[in-house]
Structures are given as structure tokens and as C-alpha cells.
Chains A and B, each alone.
Chain A
């Protein structure tokens, strides 16, 4: 482990910046709330009781630790590297999102905010928020783009069953970015009683750092599990990136282990020269939703609509710390198209008996490149960030369309 001076894990600075990225680009009405949250989080971090309670719920409610699973048949299939899955899909609510939501809802409770709002794309963050609000007895309102409401119906039903109100967002592209706009509009209107539970490592400081910290349980567990199973660190990590919280949670504990190669996989949609959601590959630095980061936009700085078959990756930005890790070159960012993700989805389901969500299917899609041809002792950990039940309808309709095309 490198010393603190050379560590890549010390960010952000006091003003919330990772290099030039991050910051607090919010309306004045929200600024006092963001500062309050920062203070409350700093206090909670230092409070052993907070950590103890969190660990308890992570174990007994979420079901952690999640297994590190040897994907034997996929390993044989590619005939190269030894492939492991970090099974975040086995968490209660079916994805990594719950790790972060638990922390934030405990914080909401601590800050005595009776009402929680959240934005959601695929619905997994919405479901996790609805779940923990039910558990802790808080009111929950989830903003979800109307397009996503249609393509992720099972999650809408789950949220409603959990007692949350789901508000379809009809503005703009009617997807995740617009849900986030609408959540910010709600927050600015309900400043006194409302806690905004952001689902990814983006937004104004302290959200990117706070969400990352709550998700680091993924990488911390992976480290001790692989040490136990293999007696050494992996050679490579792979995770999909929308906002990038599952990836950051896996990557961050390994950032200072410079021999570990780290790969993030963005959604290339119909292709990088067509409509996609790969902010690093096809965007440039700009300011949106409270932070400076890579964004998809036109030459006038107007935000462009992203596209991905995966609702959870369908966002024209990325967490600011990823933008920084991209620029300093510590993490290599690749991309996978809709078609590649679908092929990986089917392959994984049939070879491993695990139906992955479309989001981690993008990470699985890069195994061809990252695992084939590698030696048998080359260890790769893929973050299986969520399960794919929610995607079955959209996968079926996509495949039908393709067959009839």
C-alpha cells in the first residue's frame, strides 16, 4: 500500500473537487442543504454507533457479505483468465444500490428528515430507496422518467408495493437525467423536511464521495475474499458505468494497488458514432446536476440525450471521480454496445445460471477482450451489479424486433 501522499484515495479536496471535476454547482436555495448534509455525514462517519448500526443492517437486512463466485463455465468458454463475479445481484432488492441507500436513509433519519426523494433510471435505486424507507418508516417519493416507467414496469410495481409514490417525469428525454432535474426541483421546493437520496456517485459534493464510501463495501469485501480464495489480489477488475457507483465501490479500495488493472465499461448504445451513453468516450467536461464532469453535449453546451438499452446506464454524464481517474489514466474506460451487452446477457444466463441485469451485461461483454488469450492464473473480477429479472421484457422485445428486422 502506498503512503498517503501518493494515494489516489484521498479525494475530494475540501471544496469537493477531484482535480477539476466535482464541485458544488447548485442553486443558492440548495446550498445550505448541501452544507448541512456534508456536516451531518462527517459527524456520522466519526460516530462508531453509526458504523455499527450500518454493519448490522448490511449483514441482517441486505445479506452481506455478497459472495465472490468463481464463474467456472464462462472461464472455460473463454479459455483464458479465471473469472470471478462479485455477486451484488444477491443483495436484498437485487442490486448494489442498497449499500448506498442504507447509508443515506440512516443519515436522513439522523437528520430528522421525514420525507425522502430519489431519482431512478432502471428502478433499482428507486426500489432500494422505497425498501429502506419502508423499513425505517419514512415517506418516499421516486422520480422516474416516463420512458423508464414503461420499460421497467416490474420495478414500478415493486416501489408501489413498498409504499412509495412513483412520479413519472414527462419533461425532456423522459429518462434518468430528467428524473434528476425533477428531483432537484422537488428538493428546492421542500427544503425543510426532505432528504434527497442520490443513487450514484454524482451530484454536488458531498454526494460523489459519500455514495462512493457507502459502496466501498463491495471492493473491501472483494479484497478479503480473493485473498482468502487465491491468496493474492486480482489482476483485473471490470464494472459497468452509468453514473458509476457500482464501479467506484469495487475500484476504490484497489486504486492504490497499482498492479491491479481496472476497467470501466460505458454504454455505447447503437455505437459510439451513433446514439450512445458513453460520456468519457464521446463527451467532454461540462457542468450539470451539481458537478463538473464529462458530459454528452452539443457545441453550444446543450445536454444531449443519451441512449442505452439499459435504463440504468442511460445518462449523459458520469461521476466526477471517474472523470478524474480517466484523465490521470488509473482506470481504463471501454465501452460495449447494446448488441454486445445482449449477447453477454444470454451467454451468462445460459452458461452460469445467472440472469444478469443489462447494466453488468456491458461489463460481461468485455470479457472476450479481457479474458480470452490470458493465462489461467490471470484473475478477473467482474462486478455483477444487479440481477436481470427487471429486464426480461425489454430483452424479449428487443430480440423479437431484431429477428423480424
Chain B
């Protein structure tokens, strides 16, 4: 890939600042399109360095109950891949630097049509893709076409990705590597920091790409400890849980919904930013 994407630029910037980044995940359209767009727009100011927007899917096989539930809320409110792309387009009108990564499962993209999707995603201002059920064995489906279209394809590395397999996983990865810190679904167990640090060091031996760590990070303290060893910390389930707990009894957004998310993001960002300061002290 020739041109720098917003993702590449953001990690360079973080490098200059000498700190790790905060990657925040929200599900597009959760709990409804307008509230979700308001959250999305508020995230950079709250402290998100990179934003993952979940494309909801009925059968989120790799996700735990929080993200499953948030996907179903979004779908019930009428969210679709088309609307998720529209959200990104709206967001880009006011922010041309914060990287946006779409995260989800392959079927909605496959049904949308890969070529049409890549064209529309690029135009909307999408910088990267994380597609959970496309391992390197299926690179021809979307990864290679995405690279050609100038969109980063961000691969997941996991505790089961051993040194023998890592080169295959890293081969067509660009933007950054997402290290899934536990063997499990999203939002479940919290990883042992020392294991994560070791794993990041192991992956660094194989690549110069930045490494973001996610799955199971819930609190500013988790985010801080991960940020000591990784290039970015990813928080998702905790944020969609903040959405859920802010809803009224009928599951509708309240005046508290956007703030519930941005407050948590601000605290997480402070945790991440304090990591290197703390380490330097």
C-alpha cells in the first residue's frame, strides 16, 4: 500500500507524543442511528484516538453477551451496513483525521458485494476493516481487494497464533495488528497483564506494525496497564454496556446515553495517557 492512511498517520502521531493510543469500539446504530451518530461524533473529543464501528450481525459468534446484545439492539432499530456507512460519511463531515475501522462479520459485506462495499467504504471515509471470520486462509475474499482499494485490513492475532503461524497472519496485515488478549469471546475474562506484555513482545519480533490489545479490558486501570506494553488499548464491551445501562425500561436512549459513553471514554483515555507518564516517573 502506498499512501499513508489515517491509521498510519495517527500511530505516527502517537509515537511522537510518546504514548499509547485508545481504540474505542461502539456498535453502529446502537441503540438507534441518531444516538449512535452523536456518540461517534463525541468520541474524539472524549479521548478516543481510533474508533472501531461495529457492523451489527445477527450471529456474532466471536462476541460475548454485551456485544451480541448491542448488535441486536442496533438491528432492531433498523441498522444495516448501508446505514453504518452513512454514519461514517456524516462523521467525516466534521472530522477528517480520526481513523475509523469497521469491525464485524463477513456475511453483510459479502451480501453488499465486496467491490461495491470497498468503493462505498473508501468514499465514506473508512480507513480499516476488521472482519472476525476471515482468517488468512480466506485472504482472497476481502483482504487482498481491500489492500488494493487502499483500506487497511487489520488482522487479529490470538493466544493460539503461535510463532509458526504468525508470519501467515501478519503477511497481508496493514494499519495495525489487533492482539486478542484472551482465548475467548469479547467482554469475557480479563487478561493477565504480564501475559499480554510477553505476547506483544513476541509479535513485535515479527512485525514493525503497531500492536493494539483488546478483549476483556473494562476499566481505566486495565487500559493503563495494557498501554504500558502495547501501542494501543481497545475497549468495546464496557462501552456498549455503558450504552445499555443508560437506556430507559423500553430500551430507548435517554439524555444520559451519550454522556455515559463519553465519560467512560474520558476516564479510559486518562488511564492510557497516564501509563507512560507513570512508567517514566
Q: B51: CB under 8 A from chain A?
A: no
Q: Mark A277-315, 1 if CB is under 8 A from B, else 0.
A: 000000000111110100101011111000000000000
Residues from chain B with Cβ under 8 Å of A29 in the complex: 62, 156, 158-160, 180, 183-184
Total residues of chain A contacting the partner, CB 8 A: 36
| Stretch of B19-27, B53-61, B203-211, B240-248 on the interface side | B53-61
Q: Mark B160-178, 1 if CB is under 8 A from A, else 0.
A: 1110010001000000000
Residues from chain B with Cβ under 8 Å of A151 in the complex: none
Q: Nearest Cβ in chain B — how far from A29, in angstroms?
A: 4
Q: Nearest Cβ in chain A — how far from B203, in angstroms?
A: 12
Q: A147: CB under 8 A from chain B?
A: no
Residues from chain A with Cβ under 8 Å of B57 in the complex: 301-302
Q: Nearest Cβ in chain B — how far from A31, in angstroms?
A: 4
Chain A, range 2-40, C-beta contacts under 8 Å to B:
15, 23-33
Q: A171: CB under 8 A from chain B?
A: yes
Residues from chain A with Cβ under 8 Å of B188 in the complex: 189
Task: Give the secondary structure class of B's interface.
Answer: loop
Once the chains bind, are B138 and A302 in contact (CB under 8 Å)? no
Residues from chain B with Cβ under 8 Å of A24 in the complex: 135, 137-138
Q: Mark B93-112, 1 if CB is under 8 A from A, else 0.
A: 00000000000011111111
Once the chains bind, are A15 and B137 in contact (CB under 8 Å)? yes
Q: B273: CB under 8 A from chain A?
A: no
Residues from chain A with Cβ under 8 Å of B62 in the complex: 27, 29, 184-185, 188
Name the CB-closest residue of B to A192: B183
Q: Which of B61, B64, B137, B158 has the most CB of A within 10 A?
A: B61
Q: B68: CB under 8 A from chain A?
A: yes
Q: From A15, A26, A302, give the contact of B58 (CB < 8 A).
A: A302
Total residues of chain B contacting the partner, CB 8 A: 44
Q: From B107, B161, B184, give the contact of A28 (CB < 8 A).
A: B161
Q: Nearest Cβ in chain B — how far from A26, in angstroms?
A: 6
Name the CB-closest residue of A to B161: A28
Once the chains bind, are A28 and B59 in contact (CB under 8 Å)? no
Task: Give the secondary structure class of A's interface.
Answer: mixed
Q: A392: CB under 8 A from chain B?
A: no
Once the chains bind, are A177 and B160 in contact (CB under 8 Å)? no
Once the chains bind, are A287 and B169 in contact (CB under 8 Å)? no
Q: A139: CB under 8 A from chain B?
A: no
Once the chains bind, are A172 and B135 in contact (CB under 8 Å)? no
Q: Given A28-B161, A28-B169, A188-B184, do A301 and B108 touch, yes or no (CB 8 Å)? A: yes
Q: B80: CB under 8 A from chain A?
A: yes
Once the chains bind, are B185 and A297 in contact (CB under 8 Å)? no
Once the chains bind, are B61 and A23 in contact (CB under 8 Å)? no
Once the chains bind, are B81 and A300 in contact (CB under 8 Å)? yes
Q: Given A189-B185, A289-B61, do A28 and B135 touch, yes or no (CB 8 Å)? A: yes
Residues from chain A with Cβ under 8 Å of B148 in the complex: none
Once the chains bind, are A27 and B135 in contact (CB under 8 Å)? yes
Q: Mark A32-71, 1 if CB is under 8 A from B, else 0.
A: 1100000000000000000000000000000000000000
Residues from chain B with Cβ under 8 Å of A25 in the complex: 106, 133-135, 138
Q: B12: CB under 8 A from chain A?
A: no
Residues from chain B with Cβ under 8 Å of A177 in the complex: 59
Smallest CB-CB A-B distances: 9 pairs: A301-B111, A301-B108, A189-B184, A29-B158, A300-B80, A301-B107, A25-B133, A31-B135, A27-B62
Known: A181-B61, A303-B58; 12 extra A-B contacts, CB below 8 A, are A27-B132, A27-B135, A29-B62, A29-B183, A31-B165, A32-B162, A171-B68, A185-B61, A286-B110, A287-B105, A287-B106, A300-B112
Cross-chain pairs A/B with CB under 8 angstroms, 5 sampled: A27-B133, A28-B158, A177-B59, A185-B62, A191-B160
